Amino acid sequence: MKEKEPEKDKAYDPSAAEERWYAAWLSAGVFHADPARPGEAYSIVIPPPNVTGSLHMGHALNITLQDVLIRYARMNGRNALWLPGTDHAGIATQNVVERELSREGVSRQALGRDAFIARVWKWKEESGGTILRQLKRLGAACDWDRERFTMDEGLSRAVREAFVRLYRKGLIYRGRYIINWCPRCHTALSDLEVSYEEKKGALWHIRYPELSGGEGVVVATTRPETMLGDTAVAVNPKDERYAERIGSTLRLPLMNRPIPLIADAMVDREFGTGAVKITPAHDPNDFEVGKRHELPSVRVIDGSGKMTSDAGAFAGMDRFDCREAVVAKLAEEGLLVREEPYLHNVGHCYRCRTVVEPAESMQWFVKTKPLAEPAIRAVRNGETRIVPAQWEKTYFEWMENIRDWCISRQIWWGHRIPAYHCAACGKTMVEIDPPANCASCGSADMRQEEDVLDTWFSSGLWPFSTMGWPEETPELARYYPTAALVTGFDILFFWVARMMMMGIEFTGKAPFRDVVIHALVRDARGEKMSKTRGNVIDPLEVIGRFGTDAFRFTLVALAAQGRDIRMSDDRVEGYRNFMNKLFQAGRFVGMHVDGETPTELPPALPVVDRWILSRLQRVVDEVRRGVEEFRFNEAGSAFYQFVWHEFCDWYLEMIKPTLSPDAMTGDRMRQRAVLLQVYETLLALGHPFIPFITEELWHTLPGDRGLLYDRPFPASDAAWSDVDVEDDMAHLMEVIRSVRNIRSELNIPPAKKVEIRLKGQPGELAFLRDHEEIVRRLSRAGGVAYADPDYIPVGDATAVVNDIEVCVPLAGLIDFDQEAKRLRKEIEKGNAELLRVAGQLGNARFTANAPADIVDALRDREAALGQKLGKLGKNLELVSRYLS
Ligand SMILES: [Zn+2]
Ligand SMILES: [Zn+2]
Instruction: Kindly report, residue by residue over 820-853, the tens digit of the pLDDT.
Output: 888 899 899 999 999 999 999 999 898 888 888 8
**Domain-embedded: residue 56:** no
Q: Answer yes or no: are the C-beta atoms of 217 and 250 closer than 8 Å.
A: yes
Query: What are 794-823's pLDDT values in tens digits?
Result: 777 778 888 888 888 887 777 788 888 888
State which H helix or E strand residue 397 sits in: helix 390-400
Query: Which region, left, alpha or beta, applies to residue 391 given φ > 0 means left and ψ of -120 to 50 means alpha?
Result: alpha
Both 788 and 677 in a single domain?
Answer: no
pLDDT at position 10:
66
Query: Which region, left, alpha or beta, applies to residue 12 given φ > 0 means left and ψ of -120 to 50 means alpha?
Result: beta
Both 587 and 705 in a single domain?
Answer: yes
Task: Please give the single-letter amino acid code of residue 43.
Answer: S
**Cα 444 to averaged position of ligand 2 atoms, centre (Å):** 8
Of the chain, the end-to-end C-alpha distance in Å amounts to 44
Higher pLDDT pick, 483 / 746: 483
Q: Is 154 a residue whose pLDDT tops 60?
A: yes
**Domain-embedded: residue 736:** yes
pLDDT band at 884 (very low <50, low <70, confident <90, very high): low
Both 770 and 841 in a single domain?
Answer: no
pLDDT at position 301:
95
Task: Please give the single-letter amino acid code of residue 401.
Answer: N
Which ligand does the CA of 427 lie closest to?
A: 2
**Cα 630 to averaged position of ligand 1 atoms, centre (Å):** 38
CATH code (residue 554): 1.10.730.10
Q: Answer yes or no: are the C-beta atoms of 310 and 293 closer than 8 Å.
A: no
Domain termination residue (choose one: 793, 809, 825): 809
Domain termination residue (choose one: 783, 809, 835): 809
**Domain-embedded: residue 741:** yes
Stretch 202-225: mean pLDDT: 92
Which ligand does the CA of 420 lie closest to?
A: 2
Higher pLDDT pick, 794 / 683: 683
pLDDT at position 109:
85
**Domain-embedded: residue 72:** no
Both 665 and 601 in a single domain?
Answer: yes
**Domain-embedded: residue 643:** yes
Which ligand does the CA of 426 lie closest to?
A: 2
* Residues in Cβ contact with 812 at an 8 Å cutoff, skipping those fewer than 6 apart: none
Neighbours of ion ligand 2 (CB under 5 A): 422, 424-425, 427, 438, 440-441, 443
Both 589 and 693 in a single domain?
Answer: yes
pLDDT at position 663:
85
Stretch 575-595: mean pLDDT: 93
**Cα 178 to averaged position of ligand 2 atoms, centre (Å):** 29
**Domain-embedded: residue 444:** yes
Q: How many folded domains does the chain comprise?
A: 5
**Cα 451 to averaged position of ligand 2 atoms, centre (Å):** 20
Q: Answer yes or no: are the C-beta atoms of 500 and 375 closer than 8 Å.
A: yes
Which ligand does the CA of 351 lie closest to?
A: 1
Both 709 and 732 in a single domain?
Answer: no
**Domain-embedded: residue 393:** no
Rounded distance between C-alpha atoms, residue 75 and residue 141, angstroms: 12
Both 631 and 679 in a single domain?
Answer: yes
**Domain-embedded: residue 500:** no
Higher pLDDT pick, 371 / 750: 371
Rounded distance between C-alpha atoms, residue 770 and residue 757, angstroms: 15
Answer positive or negative: Cα dihedral of 433, 435, 440, 446: positive
660: domain range? 543-721
**Cα 179 to averaged position of ligand 1 atoms, centre (Å):** 14
CATH code (residue 874): 1.10.287
**Cα 105 to averaged position of ligand 1 atoms, centre (Å):** 21
Proportion of the chain above pLDDT 90, given as a percent: 66
Both 794 and 828 in a single domain?
Answer: no
Question: How far apart, in Å, are the Cα atoms of 770 and each of 23, 89, 808?
Answer: 51, 69, 20
Stretch 269-296: mean pLDDT: 90
Task: Please give the single-letter amino acid code of residue 809.
Answer: P
**Cα 356 to averaged position of ligand 1 atoms, centre (Å):** 8
Query: What are 123-133's pLDDT values in tens digits?
Result: 888 888 788 88
Maximum alpha-carbon separation in the chain: 120
Q: What is the residue-averaged pLDDT of the chain? A: 91
Both 820 and 792 in a single domain?
Answer: no
Which ligand does the CA of 181 lie closest to?
A: 1
Q: Answer yes or no: are the C-beta atoms of 135 and 391 closer than 8 Å.
A: no
Of 75-89, 95-109, 508-522, where does mean pLDDT reach its minimum?
Answer: 95-109
Both 267 and 353 in a single domain?
Answer: yes
pLDDT at position 102:
87
Cβ-in-10-Å burial (0-12, 13-18, 19+) of 394 comes to middle
Both 865 and 804 in a single domain?
Answer: no
pLDDT at position 384:
97
Proportion of the chain above pLDDT 70, given as a percent: 99
Q: Is 2 a residue whose pLDDT tops 60?
A: no
Query: What are 359-391's pLDDT values in tens digits?
Result: 888 889 999 999 999 999 999 999 999 999 999
Both 735 and 631 in a single domain?
Answer: no
Query: What are 684-713's pLDDT values in tens digits?
Result: 999 999 999 999 999 999 888 899 999 999
Domain termination residue (choose one: 809, 842, 870): 809
